[in-house]
Structure 1
């Protein structure tokens, strides 16, 4: 007899507490293999294919595409074990005889092997197997299919729960605190009444609309002409007609991180114009080289990244973070260099690990690899976290300068504008040179302006005279 096992949304790591279902990869009735990806979810950091640790027949799915689930919520159930009779398709599929799982909760954020061809059990036999088989569940996982209601309502005053508030996500708690929302008065739309971010968002909108209506009522004349009342636009209707874009997924994560950066970090920015003519000439010479010693093409970003690692070796104060609870500056030993990359899903910051041990060619190759993963949405959360310093090349957008917001919890970010011909005094004469503006935003807690200025001046000197780098290569 088959046994029905429940697979829950696993802990995706990196502090993630929830994920949104983007696309189901299996249907009810499909036969799945152990560790076969069954659903694609979007976390606050990346798109992830989640593999199921059980092999068998899918008997139920929990949550529609677009639903946001907390870690630990049911994803699907699988009937594990032999099913009597033939299947409805003659195609060969994965073996579902074993009742044991792989033991892997999440295999590399998705298996690299191609998914097996689908087999589907006839519905009558699937229903019989599900009815006869016992369901193996954790005590807290007995939940129905997750379907968010069309409208969430506030719980009446007399029905406020005195027990623990059913909230898993710290983001949901923080959002509720920021908007003075009493979580005990919310009816959660998640499993067993779990309160999701969508529930808090709806409560915030309801509170804002109520406050706006109350304010208008207080300011309106006691006896307004009927014609004037009929012609007056409805503020509530206007708000409802506006487009509302949920701040979740990558966009929500960026919003949270930038807000926290501006709230916690006393940042300051300094900038300088630099003559990049020699740097561009050196790059052209590198890429024009032929023969056995010629390697892959080197990008401007790779050269700037190598300059950053050399500068951080001289000014390690900027490769640090601040432990606010302990009131300590944590000086980091290695440089994990993040670089801003714009994708269809929004701005992401992949991280080049151990950049301080790499040369320009190695850094360039890793940047190219991570950029391609970012464009295809295949970066794992681990590849988007752990940075110690960020390089932001906003010059690709055709702008000269900016004041970057520090990528919390880092201590600094170097911004690079576009490199373009400008009049410049070179060797005492006016000439047209390739000029770039460099800006450094830094946490004033980790260093003073002298250190930040020294770092930026060294970077500018390397841009203007690339031979300066030879001392540290």
Structure 2
């Protein structure tokens, strides 16, 4: 006798709680093999193909393309043959970004025609949501083909299926208010500060772990309320009434928006910049590539300069732990670099960049850039950076004051390299000039350290032989 198993959206790792269906890779009625990818989803980190741990016939799908589902929501149901040993059906045992497919959920009690309450919803103690309506209005566990234990009959019956059904789930709250119960705050001082200023903590979303409300969150809300009270109020216009094209902030774009907002809210950043003569650096790259072998990219040379500068000024390879009120200086350099894709800005990370030479850095940049363009970067390749290199010169601009990639402490920006008049060895000449900018977290260092870092980078750009001291 065939058995209908439910496959739920797995935990995709990195603390991700939901994913958006981008493309279904199978149809109802298709025969799937164990670990065959069945759907492509987009998380806040990357695009992921999700494999099904069961082999059999797809009897129902849940969610149309563009639908966001929480982790644990049903994705599809699969009719599989009865196990040879008569025991429970095993999953594939493989792992998808920290998710073990393991064993399937326990079999549910079959719906009886005289029990309308069971047909509508599962009781509170059941093993999941109500049985989805699949092929012809009957619950999957009661599919006639499954009762006849004929997979071919199931496939034939599935060919005339109705449209996919979205799973029921709790509605999203209309506002930011928290549910009833105690509000998690980092200390009693924060609770007292909110109480004395008449601030409702339930209206805040904490920026700490698991939504913990920090003192910075309360102070930011109080400043915002004060600024709003001082501005003359114009006639109210609801944003929802403003005409225009609306683009949902979700997936990668939503994650970028959240991270940039948090960085601007929490990090007291400052920027310093300098113009540098990059003529000798361009000549050095040309000489390297003329010798044969893999080509060395300009980004790789700049990355090599960054790692040398961070060895001299390790304060900028840090992060701030506000709960412990400590600056954590990191021992390894995981170098992020900004990459613009059709899905938005992403920051792939080159692991242990301080141990790589220019040739190794070139190869890794090329590999990660290609993965970013094709949308195949994994969450692990997009997290864990300690310092970011932003080459915005590719957009044809000279300078920028970028937002620090939270929770890092600094970002080096590189503008376009263009010929400009420059005083070289006492003579006016046309040289290849670039503007370098360093945006840094003022909590980890003062201007002297930031200026020293940027000056060292500029010296290496102007005289690449300076790097020979650290090779």
Structures share a fold, TM > 0.5?
yes
CA distance in 2, matches of 1:283, 1:244: 45
Give the aligned partner of residue 17 of structure 2. Answer: 17
SS in 2 for 1:454: helix
Query: 5+ residue gaps in structure 1?
Result: 84-96, 110-121, 134-143, 166-176, 183-214, 221-234
Give the aligned partner of residue 106 of structure 1. Answer: 96
Superposition pairs of residues 111-122 of structure 1, within 5 angstroms? none
- Asked if structure 2 preserves the Cα contact closer than 8 Å seen for 1:55 and 1:98, the reply is no
Q: 2:302 aligns with which of 289, 301, 304?
A: 304
CA deviations on 1:88-116 (whole Å, 9 max, x unpaired) are xxxxxxxxx9932112241699xxxxxxx
Structure 1 residues 327 and 28, CA gap change in structure 2 (3 angstroms): same
Give the aligned partner of residue 34 of structure 1. Answer: 34
Q: Is 1:315 matched up with 2:313? A: yes
Q: 1:383 aligns with which of 373, 377, 381?
A: 381
Structure 1 residues 466 and 241, CA gap change in structure 2 (3 angstroms): same
Q: Is 1:145 matched up with 2:166? A: yes
- Asked if structure 2 preserves the Cα contact closer than 8 Å seen for 1:61 and 1:75, the reply is yes
Q: What is the CA distance between 1:161 and its match in structure 2? A: 9.1
Superposition pairs of residues 207-246 of structure 1, within 5 angstroms? 239=241, 241-246=243-248
Give the aligned partner of residue 285 of structure 1. Answer: 287
CA distance in 2, matches of 1:414, 1:78: 51
Give the aligned partner of residue 260 of structure 2. Answer: 258
Superposition pairs of residues 450-469 of structure 1, within 5 angstroms? 450-469=448-467
Q: What is the CA distance between 1:426 and its match in structure 2? A: 0.6
Q: What is the CA distance between 1:450 and its match in structure 2? A: 0.7
Structure 1 residues 297 and 132, CA gap change in structure 2 (3 angstroms): same
- Asked if structure 2 preserves the Cα contact closer than 8 Å seen for 1:64 and 1:147, the reply is no
SS in 1 for 2:289: helix
Structure 1 residues 269 and 33, CA gap change in structure 2 (3 angstroms): same
CA distance in 1, matches of 2:332, 2:52: 36
Give the aligned partner of residue 396 of structure 2. Answer: 398
CA distance in 2, matches of 1:28, 1:163: 43
- Asked if structure 1 preserves the Cα contact closer than 8 Å seen for 2:275 and 2:435, the reply is yes
- Asked if structure 2 preserves the Cα contact closer than 8 Å seen for 1:55 and 1:78, the reply is yes
Structure 1 residues 45 and 107, CA gap change in structure 2 (3 angstroms): closer
CA deviations on 1:382-408 (whole Å, 9 max, x unpaired) are 111111100000000000000011000
Query: 5+ residue gaps in structure 2?
Result: 100-134, 150-164, 184-199, 206-231
CA distance in 2, matches of 1:104, 1:53: 8
CA distance in 1, matches of 2:68, 2:182: 22
Q: What is the CA distance between 1:280 and its match in structure 2? A: 0.2
Q: What is the CA distance between 1:5 and its match in structure 2? A: 1.6
- The answer to which of 74-83 and 448-457 deviates more is 74-83
CA distance in 1, matches of 2:202, 2:181: 22
Give the aligned partner of residue 330 of structure 2. Answer: 332
Q: 2:427 aligns with which of 418, 426, 429?
A: 429
- Asked if structure 1 preserves the Cα contact closer than 8 Å seen for 2:13 and 2:97, the reply is no
CA distance in 2, matches of 1:419, 1:178: 50
Q: Is 1:370 matched up with 2:368? A: yes
Q: What is the CA distance between 1:237 and its match in structure 2? A: 10
Aligned residues between the structures: 372
CA distance in 2, matches of 1:249, 1:428: 54
Give the aligned partner of residue 448 of structure 1. Answer: 446
Q: What is the CA distance between 1:127 and its match in structure 2? A: 3.3
Structure 1 residues 130 and 76, CA gap change in structure 2 (3 angstroms): farther
Q: What is the CA distance between 1:262 and its match in structure 2? A: 0.6
SS in 1 for 2:94: coil
CA distance in 1, matches of 2:17, 2:148: 34
**TM-align CA RMSD:** 3.4
- Asked if structure 1 preserves the Cα contact closer than 8 Å seen for 2:273 and 2:437, the reply is yes
SS in 2 for 1:241: coil
Structure 1 residues 164 and 62, CA gap change in structure 2 (3 angstroms): farther
CA distance in 2, matches of 1:338, 1:246: 26
Structure 1 residues 441 and 297, CA gap change in structure 2 (3 angstroms): same
CA distance in 1, matches of 2:235, 2:309: 60
CA deviations on 1:284-323 (whole Å, 9 max, x unpaired) are 001111xxxx321111101000100111111111111011
Q: What is the CA distance between 1:62 and its match in structure 2? A: 1.2
- Asked if structure 2 preserves the Cα contact closer than 8 Å seen for 1:62 and 1:74, the reply is yes
TM-score of the two chains, using structure 2 as the length reference:
0.72
